[in-house]
Structure 1
Amino acid sequence: MSGWARRLFPGLDPADCARIEGLPVQMLPQGAHLFAPGTRAEAFAIVLSGRIEVSLTGPSGREILLYAVEPGQSCIQTTLGLLGNEPYSGDALCVGPVRLVLIPAAQFHALMASSEAFRGFVFRALAGRMSDMTALLERVAFTRVEARLAAALLELARDGTVEATHADLAARIGSAREVVSRRLESMARRGLVATDRGRVALRDQAALVRLSLAV
């Protein structure tokens, strides 16, 4: 994957690109945690392949999926941790095998101080993530649970089937597992879906699309 840093950071000095690409590529297995609540950011992660999901768990045990980090994207919690020296509040889980490069904190701060191209990438990514977080807050606050659930099912479906537990779906839409279970039962009675352990089959996608757009 020679040249990936140049593609990711257009305009970055060739020497800085070479130093970044000279960092070791790390392999994390499915189920590995990149960070956990209370730990501190020690490096800026660049995902080369795979997907990392960052979630937040409240005192009640309810979990919400904040965002996912995929190739070419950054992690807002890590950026804020490095810039503000604050501990992580979320948990980052590899949902499959992940290949990544970790830019040590000292190198990250040096690049932020010296490279306009690198600063631009970091701040554009930060702005995009903040926009995503605002959109998530709006969905949770102003969109009905059933509409959020329908939208999540449509997004996750592969060949008309969603492979996810009720707890996974609840975390994705910012609700409780019991609520998701009741909503899925209601959808099943209306012929919109069929449920099985860890699986939801979409029976009426057109109706689910209409439901996802309801306010």
Structure 2
Amino acid sequence: MKTFSPSSSRASSTGADGLSPNDHRANRIFRHMSPEEISALGPSIEHLTYGKGEMILQRRDEEGGIYLLLEGVLLANQYARSGREVGYRRIAAGSYFGEISAIDGLPRSVNVVALEDARIARLPQSLVRRLFEESPRFMKALLEDMAGLARALTDRLFELTAVSVACRVDIELLRMAGVAGGDGQRAVISPCPTHAELAALLGSQREPVTRELNRLAGLGIVRQTGRTLHVLDLPALAGEVERIGGEI
């Protein structure tokens, strides 16, 4: 890990608010705050970079703070004593993590590792505590996202206990396609998780994940080129979820 100056970041296209997607001020955690409120936080925010494979947070770490992902893709996971990996979620640019420990003051509950080179802005715990006390708009975004996380975990628990691995693969591809964006017919997922990474996220083994991806490719629904997965027919993928027993 190394620190960097915000002015050294790569240039990129700007959104409707005039901010580039990899600017910390564009992170979703600030979505209800005014530009003036967000700008005032700048001197207190730490900017960090991590290389692919580097551990950002480790389970049971006691350091607080909330981390905003500016660039890259991360994985929240945990390892059983047997060595088996359990993946909880992929974290995409524009998201944030670490809020649970920042709220309850307890050690980190999962590891967070960089799946590719990543840039991060960190809100130190002292700043987070001040925002908890002084910014209802910050708290509104945090509470909305905590509710969304609870709903997502409920959905995943249902999927793990009630639907097949093949169906879970299809549902996860739909989720990732939604994050990637597109025209409602096609989407490009890049970088796509490896089959082993998908298996860890879905509570499965690599072999059934590979079989389902090969089946979808045979139907012309997906095509993979290296670490890029092209979803060629989103409606057909959604139809497969419903056909084999899942819910959209």
Describe how 1:98-177 pairs up with structure 2 within 5 A.
98-152=118-172, 155=176, 164-177=193-206
> CA distance change for structure 1 residues 123 and 192 in 2, over 3 Å: closer, same or farther?
same
Moved more, 174-183 or 56-65: 174-183
Structure 1 runs, 4 residues or longer, greater than 6 Å off: 156-162, 198-202, 204-207
Provide structure 1 residue ranges, at least 5 long, that are not aligned to the other structure.
Answer: none
- Which moved further from structure 2: 112-121 or 145-154? 145-154
Query: For residue 38 of structure 2, what is the amino acid of its counterpart?
Result: C
Alignment correspondent of 1:71? 93
Letter in 2 for 1:64: V
Quick one: distance in 1 between partners of 2:171 and 2:212?
A: 13
Structure number with greater CO (CA < 8 Å, separation at least 6) is 1
After TM superposition, the structure 1 stretch with the greater mean CA deviation from structure 2, 158-167 or 45-54, is: 158-167
Structure 2 CA distance for partners of 1:169 and 1:17, relative to 1, 3 Å: closer
Q: 2-side partners of 1:11 and 1:115: how far apart?
A: 8
Q: CA RMSD in A?
A: 3.9
Q: TM-score, normalised by structure 1?
A: 0.75
Question: CA separation of 1:18/1:165 partners in 2, compared to 1, >3 Å: closer, same or farther?
Answer: closer
Is 1:42 equivalent to 2:71 in the alignment? no
Indicate how the Cα distance of structure 1 residues 163 and 107 shifts in structure 2: closer, same or farther if over 3 A, else same.
Answer: closer
- How many Å apart are 1:210 and its aligned residue? 4.2
CA distance in 2, matches of 1:131, 1:160: 23
Most deviating of 163-172 and 97-106: 163-172
**Cα gap change, 1:210 to 1:83, in 2 (>3 Å):** same
Pair 134,49 (structure 1): closer, same or farther in 2 beyond 3 Å? same
Three-state SS of the structure 2 residue aligned to 1:109 is helix
Cα 1:101–1:3 change in 2 (3 A) is: closer
Q: Is the 8 A contact 2:24 2:68 kept in 1?
A: no
Q: Unpaired runs of 5+ in structure 2?
A: 1-18, 178-185
Change (3 A) 1:153 1:69: closer
Q: Which piece of structure 1 moves more, 113-122 or 175-184?
A: 175-184
TM-score by length of 2: 0.66
- Is structure 2 residue 96 aligned with structure 1 residue 96? no
What is the aligned-residue identity percentage? Answer: 21
